[in-house]
Amino acid sequence: MFDISVVLSNLFEPMTLLLMALSACFGIIMGAIPGLSGTLGIALLMPFTFGLEPGVALLMLGSVYCGSEYGGSIPSILINTPGTAAALCTTFDGHPMAQNGHAQKALLTALISSVFGGLFGVCALIFLSIPLAHVAMSFGAPEQFWLCVFALTIIASLSSGQVLKGIIGALLGLLFACVGMDPITGIPRFTFNTMELMNGINVVPALIGLFAIPQALMLLKPAGEHGGMAPYRPAPGVFWQTVKEFFHRIWVVGVAGVVGLIIGIMPGAGGNIATFIAYNEAKRFSRKPEKFGTGIMEGIMAPEVCNNAVVGGAQIPMLTLGIPGSAPAAVMLGALMTHGLKPGFALFTEQSDVVFTYFIGLFLANIMILILGLVLIRIFVRVLQIPQNFLVVAIIAMSVVGAYSISTSAMDVISMCAGGLIGYILIRYKFGVAPMALGLILGGMMEEGFKLSLHLGAAEGNVVMFFFSRPQSLVLIALTVLSLVYSIWKEISAARKAGQAAA
Amino acid sequence: MKKLSFIIAPFMALSLCMGATAQAADYPSKPITLMTAFNAGGGSDVSHRLIEKYARGVISQPIVVTYKPGAGGEVGWTWLIGARADGYTVGGVDLPHIVLQPLLRAEGQPGYKTEQLNPLCNLVFDPDVVMVRKDSPFKSLEELVTYAKANPGKLKVGTVGKFTGDHLFLMQIEKLTGTKFTQVPYPGGGKAAPALLSGEVDCYFGSASNFLRMEGARGLAIATKERYELCPDVPTFAEQGYTLESAKYRGIATPPKFPAEAQKYLETKLAELCANPEYQQAVRGAGLTPYYTNGKEFGEIIKREKEKAVNVLKTYGFIK
């Protein structure tokens, strides 16, 4: 085992703590700016860690990762634009709550949830890394496909009452996700012989467009109409009140934490998909599912707990098997190797001081985020005091800069603008942007899982059996069917109730 | 205090160079961009980050890694040939990728040509390995080949994609042993490795660097001349009666019309950097073998690999 005194003396060096706090703050800001993400933040910070000891270096990068997952919620709540793709679901309830005049409470809920989710993930990382490593192995290509199918059933609850419109939106998203090279054969599709479209439509700029541009246009409408914001009034004592209400709903942490952890461990899935599932499961477990989407705490807690729990989950297979569970974890893996650490079970015994310095440091980083968040919220909330006509210009400018900075490509700016136009049309005709966003996010992963399964099934000799016979697949199929039956039953009973009320 | 200076130094370097202009006499006068055509976290990223790390003190300006990922490197390399040839943009290139893509590109599809990439130097070498799971019934290459011959197409082989180096390696093995496998092209090592470990595929024909970072895999044969230093217990193809050498090379290329002076400077400085034992140790730690060659020799490797690829692809009828 490791030497606790070495770990603690490593950790409580003032310089280490200072570097961690700065990194966490940097992460929060990277997360809060739409387009910039934790992945980019870690990659940018990496050269600055070369001279440091591996433990401290990893901690700095880990702090950025944790911070960015929290930071993403801030624009979701304040301007209805997700700061990171994993904070997309936070817009569903976070922004309505802010519109109702409770921006501060929404931001605090996101902060507390992020910290709890992060701690949940780190605990799993410390105590369950080795047993859970093999979970990563049990998800194969067919499970990847079925997980996406299961995630698609969420459309029913994202667009209750308007299921057909939801399905149209999601299909649009899936269609756009087909642009670019075929993930398996490399054949270009809908690229019009341009290099720019070879890699497909980049999801993040498209999401910025879908959310930010319609939001900016909505703000142009006279106050009081849809899209307007209630004036911000600071409320004293709101922190303790939020903490109290948070603990009344602590069950959400369990549900969303487990979802985040498991999907985090799956190679390549990450927080983008996990948060949708967590939001949906919290809604299903709730006694008042009809309130979701109107600005309730549970709706903010679920995605925020979840995307921070992914941070721990995604690092489990990265550290134990050298297989990253998410995009930022992939960059972390690169950093690990650049610092001369080799992932594997041996890392936990041979380099236990480094590993446990990192784990306990991550615990500390989450506490730092709580403190930093409390300070930063006071600054961020001032966004609401900016006159709307300035805010509109700022949102559009930020969207352009954010989209461009992802990979300094003009194509991303075009995707963002196109996304904005489509988003506005979708909202104007009451389709909502969430189903299309879901389709865009799932498309690539779903296609990849499907095609790989076709290859594997063909080699086995029976494609259909391959899709429907694996036990892990059957669990996901059962969940999909249950989810569909449940949604249909709910729609029917809601229609009947409405019928009775009318009669 | 030492720690702090490490943090501040890159910032100072960045701010100093902002106002500088590119003049031949004082080259380099601003940071040099090293383009990586793959996502952060991959094998190319690690080898470029090590260059970035050890360039300090050797090259008077920092090296800055930037990512242009997509389409198996095609996006980045096409970007590179269009980059400004002012001496401040270079790019990492991988073999056999840069010879395969232009050969197999769909008609009408734009993209770089192999010859447009100016070889600057090779950095690392990463041989190909036949891998199975630790508890696989196949204990040697011979057993695998015998089974594959008796059951053509039954064994599933993971690779990192169609028409990649792994695929070329697979085709060469098939040709050499007269066997037939079913290829399962995964979108990267991060997906192919778990597929092997979970038994989704029977073998993985891929890079030694992926083999070395994986737990629970066994190497049946490695395509090097001698036993490979980083995993000496894996027998070579030659030992088992087949003549096969296959590897990936990662080097650096410059855009067309790159200033000769800058090319010369970087070639010399990178040779110096690559001779640093600490750097070499770090490269080995990342599962790669340091293998510096100058631009001319790298150009010859590219030519040699191209001939080999054309040969294999012709046999399989992928090109005429």
Q: Tens digit of pLDDT for each residue in A124-134?
A: 998 988 888 87
pLDDT of res. A227: 53
pLDDT of res. A160: 66
Query: Could you tell me if B113 lies within 8 Å of chain A, comparing CB atoms?
Result: no
CA A360 → CA A55, A63, A353, distances in Å?
A: 11, 12, 11
How far is the alpha carbon of A400 from chain B, nearest alpha carbon, in Å? 19
CA B72/CA B77 separation, integer angstroms? 10
Cis-peptide into A14, omega within 30 deg: no
Q: A456 — phi, psi (to 5°)?
A: -65, -40
At A429, list the tokens: 């005709």
Query: Could you tell me if A342 lies within 8 Å of chain B, comparing CB atoms?
Result: yes
Q: How confident is the model at residue A222 (pLDDT cuts 50, 70, 90)?
A: low
Q: Per the CB < 8 Å rule, is B67 touching A268?
A: no
Nearest chain A residue to B73, by CA: A199
Percent of chain A with pLDDT over 90: 44
- Asked if the model's pLDDT at residue A188 lies above 90, the reply is no
DSSP A358-413: HHHHHHHHHHHHHHHHHHHHHHHGGGGGS-HHHHHHHHHHHHHHHHHHHHT-HHHH
Q: Tens digit of pLDDT for each residue in A418-457?
A: 999 999 999 889 888 999 999 999 998 899 899 999 988 8
Q: Which residues of A touch B200 (CB under 8 A)?
A: 140-141, 456
Nearest to residue B207, comparing CAs of B54, B96, B50? B96
pLDDT of res. A21: 95
Q: Per the CB < 8 Å rule, is A334 touching B49?
A: yes
Query: Could you tell me if A14 lies within 8 Å of chain B, comparing CB atoms?
Result: no
Nearest to residue B123, comparing CAs of B16, B27, B49? B49
CA B7/CA A205 separation, integer angstroms? 31
- Asked if the model's pLDDT at residue B296 lies above 90, the reply is yes
Q: Per the CB < 8 Å rule, is A456 touching B214?
A: no
Nearest chain B residue to A197, by CA: B75
Angle between helices A297-321 and A54-71 (to 10 degrees): 150
pLDDT of res. B25: 61
How far is the alpha carbon of A90 from chain B, nearest alpha carbon, in Å? 27
Most confidently modeled of A191-195, A381-385, A414-418, A453-457?
A414-418
Q: Tens digit of pLDDT for each residue in A30-76?
A: 999 988 888 889 988 988 888 888 889 999 999 999 999 999 999 99
Nearest chain B residue to A345, by CA: B215
Nearest chain B residue to A23, by CA: B7
Query: How big is the CA angle at A313 (ends A307 and A314), to the nearest 5 degrees?
Result: 90
- Asked if the model's pLDDT at residue B11 lies above 60, the reply is no
Q: Per the CB < 8 Å rule, is A186 touching B162?
A: yes
Q: How confident is the model at residue B23 (pLDDT cuts 50, 70, 90)?
A: very low
Nearest chain B residue to A407, by CA: B68
Percent of chain B with pLDDT over 70: 92
DSSP A420-458: HHHHHHHHHTT--SHHHHHHHHHHHHHHHHHHHHHHHHH
User: Which residues is B159 bridged to in the sheet?
Assistant: B185
Query: Could you tell me if B84 lies within 8 Å of chain A, comparing CB atoms?
Result: no
Distance of CA A70 to the CA centre of its chain: 10
- Asked if the model's pLDDT at residue B19 lies above 50, the reply is no
CA A491 → CA A168, A450, A463, A486, distances in Å?
A: 18, 30, 34, 9
Pick the CATH number of B27-126+248-315 from 1.10.760.10, 3.40.190.150, 1.25.40.340, 3.10.105.10: 3.40.190.150
Chains A & B: contacts with CB separation below 8 Å? 156
Q: What is the mean pLDDT of chain B?
A: 87
Q: Per the CB < 8 Å rule, is A199 touching B50?
A: no
Query: Could you tell me if A475 lies within 8 Å of chain B, comparing CB atoms?
Result: no
Mutate to test the interface with B, among A451, A452, A463 (most CBs of B within 10 A): A452
- Asked if the model's pLDDT at residue A503 lies above 50, the reply is yes
- Asked if the model's pLDDT at residue A2 lies above 70, the reply is no
Q: Per the CB < 8 Å rule, is A338 touching B42?
A: no
CA A304/CA B231 separation, integer angstroms? 44
- ipTM of the complex model: 0.80
Which of B66, B186, B282 has its CB closest to that of A452? B186
Maximal CA-CA distance, chain B: 68
pLDDT of res. A155: 86
3-state helix, strand, coil in chain A (%, to 5): 75, 0, 20
Query: How big is the CA angle at B42 (ends A69 and A176), to the nearest 5 degrees?
Result: 65
Q: Tens digit of pLDDT for each residue in A210-221?
A: 999 998 888 887
| Averaged pLDDT, A228-252 | 84
- Asked if the model's pLDDT at residue A320 lies above 80, the reply is yes
Residues of chain B within CATH 3.40.190.10 domain(s) are 127-247
Q: Tens digit of pLDDT for each residue in B37-87?
A: 887 767 788 889 899 989 988 998 989 888 888 778 888 898 899 888 888
Which of B2, B40, B110 has its CB closest to that of A43? B40
Which amino acid appears at position A195 of this protein? M
Rg (CA), chain A: 22
Query: Could you tell me if B259 lies within 8 Å of chain A, comparing CB atoms?
Result: no
Q: Per the CB < 8 Å rule, is B41 touching A332?
A: yes
Q: How confident is the model at residue B20 (pLDDT cuts 50, 70, 90)?
A: very low
Residues of chain B within CATH 3.40.190.150 domain(s) are 27-126+248-315
DSSP B195-247: HHHTTSSSEEEEEHHHHHT-SSEEEEEE-SSS--TTSTTSPBTGGGT-----E
Q: How confident is the model at residue B198 (pLDDT cuts 50, 70, 90)?
A: confident
CA A167/CA A171 separation, integer angstroms? 6
How far is the alpha carbon of A340 from chain B, nearest alpha carbon, in Å? 6
Q: How confident is the model at residue B8 (pLDDT cuts 50, 70, 90)?
A: low
- Asked if the model's pLDDT at residue A250 lies above 60, the reply is yes
With beta carbons less than 8 A apart as the criterion, state whether B165 and B100 touch.
yes
Q: Per the CB < 8 Å rule, is A43 touching B67?
A: yes
Q: Which residues of B touch A407 (CB under 8 A)?
A: 67-69
CA B156/CA B159 separation, integer angstroms? 10
With beta carbons less than 8 A apart as the criterion, state whether B237 and B264 touch.
no
Maximal CA-CA distance, chain A: 75
Q: Per the CB < 8 Å rule, is B194 touching A321?
A: yes
Q: What is the mean pLDDT of chain A?
A: 88
Q: Per the CB < 8 Å rule, is B198 touching A138?
A: yes
Q: B205 — phi, psi (to 5°)?
A: -100, 100
Write out residues 4-43 of B within 8 Å (CB-CB) of A.
Answer: 4, 6-7, 10, 39-42
How far is the alpha carbon of B53 from chain A, nearest alpha carbon, in Å? 6
Q: How confident is the model at residue A345 (pLDDT cuts 50, 70, 90)?
A: confident
What CATH code is assigned to B127-247? 3.40.190.10
